[in-house]
Structure 1
Amino acid sequence: MFGLIGHLTSLEHAQSVARELGYPEYADQDLDFWCSAPPQIVDEIKVTSITGETITGKYVESCFLPEMLATRRIKAATRKIVNAMAHAQKNGLDITALGGFSSIIFENFDLSQIKQVRNLTLDFQRFTTGNTHTAYIICRQVEQASAQLGIDLKKSTVAVCGATGDIGSAVCRWLGNKLDVQELLLIARNKNRLEELQTELGRGKIMGLEEALPEADIVVWVASMPKGVEIDSSTLKNPCLLIDGGYPKNLGTKINGDGIHVLNGGIVEHSLDIDWQIMNIVQMDVPSRQLFACFAESMILEFEKWYTNFSWGRNMITIEKMEQIGGASVKHGFRPLLLNGI
């Protein structure tokens, strides 16, 4: 059985969802309450592959909220993630994906050092970040959505914002080696990591965001656009493809204009309806079929009986592993979300 560990986007969102799910005791509580709230299994899931095989899983709500990081409640945030992992393992889930901030917190705060949660020893082989499948799907979105817009990748300039992260670096490897884009622009805050990535790739220009955007035919955002950052849409190319790979997604509300196309990155559509409720809560356009690629990774691993931490560690994603999970993704009926009406 597979598992999904997730969280909601804000305190307000959490309160409204609590009412919908029948947890009135959570609905009117403040952030301090959510800091102490235990993880809950709130959804039972059934997924059928196009091969005919059916699997079942559970959604674990971690009760983590992004405000915990914004208000420096770091201990509460980290405790949320390890407690949710322990809850998943205790409930017999064989392979569980860490969705949204769960994997980021796990990596950034080195939670692999926390192996004991009360009387349970965490078995990290039971968990995956889902980042390999997310990186693969974003790359396929670049390839297929650019074709929708008539952008020739061999002649295009692609900027990757967040290039040195786990997903960003994997996307750069694929774009530089598999798709062989004409120009690859590398954008991130840490100069040393950028230089290391540039050396590894043997190509790519290190640039700042403001100077890179006017040059790019395609922009891949691996993280949400930071608050306070403003983009002048008139400086972007026409057409320009923006792939919003962050969570929560916010490019569509911040950048618009003629010839600018924003695509929700890292989202897949399944060929068959999935029996669950949780995607209604995160407001997917087609909640019975659309989901985050990281969540789909745990489903794929369950279908294939690959009970291992397929995506784990920072900047460990190889092209070979992306091809492996990508092949299994296609086999079981998952496909990248693309632009509508093109």
Structure 2
Amino acid sequence: MFGLIGHLTSLEHAQAVARDLGYPEYADQGLDFWCSAPPQIVDTIKVTSITGQTIEGRYVESCFLPEMLANRRIKAATRKIINAMAHAQKNGINITALGGFSSIIFENFNLNQITQVRNIKLEFERFTTGNTHTAYIICRQVEQASKKVGIDLSKATVAVCGATGDIGSAVCRWLNDRTDVPELLLIARDRERLDALQSELGRGKIMGLEEALPLADIVVWVASMPKGVEIDPTTLKQPCLLIDGGYPKNLGTKIQHPGIYVLNGGIVEHSLDIEWKIMKIVNMDVPARQLFACFAESMLLEFEKWHTNFSWGRNQISVAKMEQIGQVSVKHGFQPLLSF
């Protein structure tokens, strides 16, 4: 059995979903309540591969909200993720994906140092960040969507915003090794990590966001949008492909301009309907078929009986592992979202 650990995008979103799911005791509560709310299994999932194989999973709502980080409730946020992991393990889930902020919080706050949660000794091999599959899907979106909008990848400048992160660095490795992209622009906050990535790739120009955006034919956005940052679409090339790999997705509402194409990055479509309700709750356009690639990774690992933390640690994703997860992704009927 596979598991998905997720969270909602805001307090208001969480209250509305709680009401829809039949948890009235959660629906009218403020942030203090959500800081203490325990994780819950709120969905049972059935997925069928195009090979005919069927697997079952569970969605674990962590009750984490982004406002916890904004309001300096760091202990509450970290406790949410660890408790959700313990809850998944307690319920016998073999492999669970950490979705959204879950994996970021786990990495940034070194939660691998916490091995005991009450009477449960965490077995980290039961968990995966899903970042390898996410990075693979984003790269395939770059390759396939660029053709749709008339951008020749062999002549394109690609900017990666969040280049030193786990997903961003993997995207850079793929573009460097598996495509003929002539120019990579590397954007991130940490100069030391940028220098290390540039050295590893053997190329790439380190730039600030404002300097890089007007030069880019394709922008892969896998970082949080800094507060107060606004993108003027009139300064971008036309055509320009923006791949929004963040969560929640917001570039599509912020940037609407002729010749600018915004694609929800890291989203896959399954060939067959999935029996669940959680993707309707997170507002997927086609909730029976579309899902986050990180979630799909745990499904793929369950299909293949690879009960291991396939994606783990920071900047450990190799091109070979992206190809490996990509092959089983295709095998079981998943494909990159390409609709704008």
Please, what TM-score do these two structures have when normalized by structure 1? 0.99
- Aligned twin of 1:241: 241
Q: CA deviation at 1:223?
A: 2.2
Structure 1 letter corresponding to 2:153: L
Q: CA deviation at 1:18?
A: 0.3
- Aligned twin of 2:62: 62
- Aligned twin of 1:122: 122
Please, what TM-score do these two structures have when normalized by structure 2? 0.99
Q: CA deviation at 1:180?
A: 2.4
- Aligned twin of 1:279: 279
- Aligned twin of 1:337: 337
- Aligned twin of 1:52: 52
- Aligned twin of 2:223: 223
The residue matched to 2:65 in structure 1 has which SS? coil
Q: CA deviation at 1:101?
A: 0.2
Give the whole-Å Cα distance in 2 for the aligned partners of 1:295 and 1:22. 24
The residue matched to 1:57 in structure 2 has which SS? strand
Q: CA deviation at 1:253?
A: 1.3
Give the whole-Å Cα distance in 2 for the aligned partners of 1:169 and 1:279. 28
- Pairing 1:139–2:139 present: yes
Structure 1 letter corresponding to 2:64: F
Give the whole-Å Cα distance in 1 for the aligned partners of 2:189 and 2:250. 20
Structure 2 letter corresponding to 1:187: I
Q: Structure 2: give runs of 5+ residues left out of the alignment.
A: none
Q: Structure 1: give runs of 5+ residues left out of the alignment.
A: none
Give the whole-Å Cα distance in 2 for the aligned partners of 1:257 and 1:211. 20
Within-5 A mapping of 1:67-86: 67-86=67-86
- Aligned twin of 2:105: 105
- Aligned twin of 1:25: 25
Q: Deviations over 1:17-65 (max 9, x none)?
A: 0000000000000100000000000000000000000000000000000
- Aligned twin of 1:5: 5
Q: CA deviation at 1:339?
A: 2.8
Runs of 4+ residues over 6 Å off in structure 1: none
Q: What is the total number of aligned residue pairs between the two structures?
A: 340
- Pairing 1:255–2:255 present: yes
- Aligned twin of 1:35: 35
- Aligned twin of 1:188: 188
More deviation, 297-306/222-231: 222-231
- Aligned twin of 1:264: 264
- Pairing 1:89–2:66 present: no
More deviation, 50-59/331-340: 331-340
Structure 2 letter corresponding to 1:283: N
Q: CA deviation at 1:333?
A: 0.2
Give the whole-Å Cα distance in 2 for the aligned partners of 1:174 and 1:156. 15
The residue matched to 1:298 in structure 2 has which SS? helix
Q: CA deviation at 1:255?
A: 1.3
More deviation, 251-260/20-29: 251-260
Contact 1:224 1:245 in 2 (8 A): no
Structure 1 letter corresponding to 2:215: E
Q: CA deviation at 1:227?
A: 2.6
Q: CA deviation at 1:231?
A: 1.0
Contact 1:242 1:261 in 2 (8 A): yes
Contact 1:133 1:293 in 2 (8 A): yes
Q: Deviations over 1:114-141 (max 9, x none)?
A: 0000011000000000000000000000
Give the whole-Å Cα distance in 2 for the aligned partners of 1:182 and 1:18. 48
